[in-house]
Chains A and B, each alone.
Chain A
Amino acid sequence: MIAENTQTQMRKGILEYCVLLIISKGEIYASDIIAELKKARLLVVEGTLYPLLTRLKNNGLLSYNWVESTSGPPRKYYLLTIEGKEILTKLDITWMELSYAIETSKQTKS
């Protein structure tokens, strides 16, 4: 149970970071984000993404444009705001630190 909880926490943070990374590459549609995440072997289901995107958008990290699609109604394409880019830079630094912490921990441990 504790292991599971820790895993969930880790994944949660990293999922957010990855989503921001994917979006930072350019305007993108939700299902394409899924495809990217799947390629990165991170996300299981699409339903998890929508609340996350909504939350990031409401926190001002993301915005979206309605883009006409060839079939059916227009789609939401997400992109990073300036604030989002700033936060992503901060996250990059944090990740480096974390990565270093983990590497170091592993070395000293073994």
Chain B
Amino acid sequence: MKKTLNINIGNSIILIEEDAYEMLTAYLNEIKFHFSKNADHFEIVTDIENRIAEMFREILAQQQKQVIGIDDVQLIIAQMGSVKDFESADEAEESGYEDTISGVKKLYRDTDEAYVAGVCSGLSHYANVDAKWFRLLFLVSLFFAGSGLVAYLIMWILIPRAATRSQRMYMKGQPVNLHGFIRNFEEELAGNQLINRSRGFFVELAEAAGRLVRTLGKTFFKIIAALIIIFGTCFFLGLLVGLAVFFGFWDANPSDYYPLNIVNDDYLSSMVVAFFVALAVPIIALVLFAIRVAFNTRAINRTVSFALLVIWLGGIMVSIFYITKTFSEFKEEAAFTQVKELKRYDAYTLTLDRSRFFSKEDSVKYQINTDKYRGKVILNDMDDPFNLPRNVRLNIEKSEDGRVTLTQNNSSHGKNFEVALIHAQNIRYDFSQQDSLLNFSPFLQLNRNTNWRDQEVELTLKVPVGVKLFLKDDMDRLNFSFDYWSCDGEEARKIWVMTEEGLKCGVPN
């Protein structure tokens, strides 16, 4: 069953099927457009229309039928010739002729590809932008007081639905000529699309609601996927930047800095690469999966995913290998002790000295010109994230023999005792006495090219009974072995005195 139309062509009334009518209209439009530059276009087109009408009448009479179908129109077009044929005939004369009316686009709602009412897909055809961006725009605008919803409803009502084939072709900007027509028709057959017949607003509304619920779930997953894509990509880029920084975009030697100096220089690079692979591959996989969910693209090539898996496993294995290897370098512990005798005073002031002492090697490295820095003190930054853990402990004990001594115990780990001892020897700790002022450094330093092996410095200050100790404000940055924090009161914690029973705090006078 097909709808038929009554048309008046060449002063004849012809009954024609709807699809045949659309094709004929497109054909005549094409002809009109083609001859529109010709001064006699009206006459030519009238002649052609008259002839078409005549041929219709002949067909109807010959085949004894009532209605012109699409086959008949095709037959006539074949006989009359398409615009292409005309073109080659008058090429020499009018070479300026431009191909059909392909540029013409009209705004319709595309209910065939609709999520709700086809506004977004219609806009997408019009603007030649993928519909998902419009959908995203509307979705985002919902959060701005629902302005998008109002806009959507207005457009729903104002923009007509692409109901006929030529409207759909105008919507998609396909040339509404014979070629476009046939192509569109074939596409439709291939896609087995159903033509939505005209429906009322409320029927559409109900259907739209159903579609909305169905697609909302899908949309939710897509939003999650989009977030994964965004954050995954950022994280991946971050990793890349980190890797780039490690491999030489940074002008310092990164392996000098904690925590990278935990790892032996020999395999630090391999280990960083292994870590990078172990982290980056799952992120890539996650992002690819999210892209697949969000854009309904095909799964990535099986070989590629298998290769990724192998690379990832390789990265993991290498990482584990180096981690265990690094841990094994902490196996043995070694320590040695130096005792320094201090000048005897009745009271000492203990202070934290952040001024930095440079070895000769350091002075060369940092290009310290002695003239330039004369009389100036370079301070260590206490809160630098690349500082070593503050493994300096201070203990204060009672001296039995009346002498004042400072015992410095350097300890370190290593894969064997010998290496551990070397590491312990590579500790530099700055302590100095200026009369009754004792300067402690807040942290230990490692000689260059020494790995971090949990080096510790334990200081034991032995003072006889009766000696008073004044602790300056920032001394609490050190770790104390004695019970510093159990002493109540900030002021009290600044004054300590050695008694027969041990160290006491906050004793007045």
A positions within 8 Å CB-CB of B:
5, 8-9, 11-12, 30-31, 44-48, 50-51, 53-55, 58, 71-73, 75-76
Contacts and interface: CB of A to CB of B under 8 A. Distances in A.
6 contacts: A44-B81, A50-B48, A50-B51, A51-B40, A54-B40, A73-B12
Contacts of A53: 47
Interface in B57-90: 57-58, 61, 79-82, 85-86, 88-90
B44 interface: yes
Interface of B: 10-12, 31, 35, 38-40, 43-44, 47-48, 50-51, 53-54, 57-58, 61, 79-82, 85-86, 88-92
Contacts of B35: 51
B43 A46 contact: no
A53 B47 CA distance: 10
B12 A46 contact: no
A25 to B, nearest CB: 21
A48 B86 contact: yes
B329 to A, nearest CB: 78
A48 B40 contact: no
B31 A47 contact: yes
A91 to B, nearest CB: 18
B439 to A, nearest CB: 94
A44 to B, nearest CB: 6
Contacts of A46: 51, 79-81
A45 B79 CA distance: 6
A42 to B, nearest CB: 12
Contacts of B39: 58
B80 A47 contact: yes
A5 B80 CA distance: 22
Contacts of A11: 89
Contacts of A58: 39-40
B89 A30 contact: no
A51 B57 contact: no
B90 A51 contact: yes
B140 to A, nearest CB: 52
Contacts of A75: 50, 54
Contacts of B40: 51, 54-55, 58
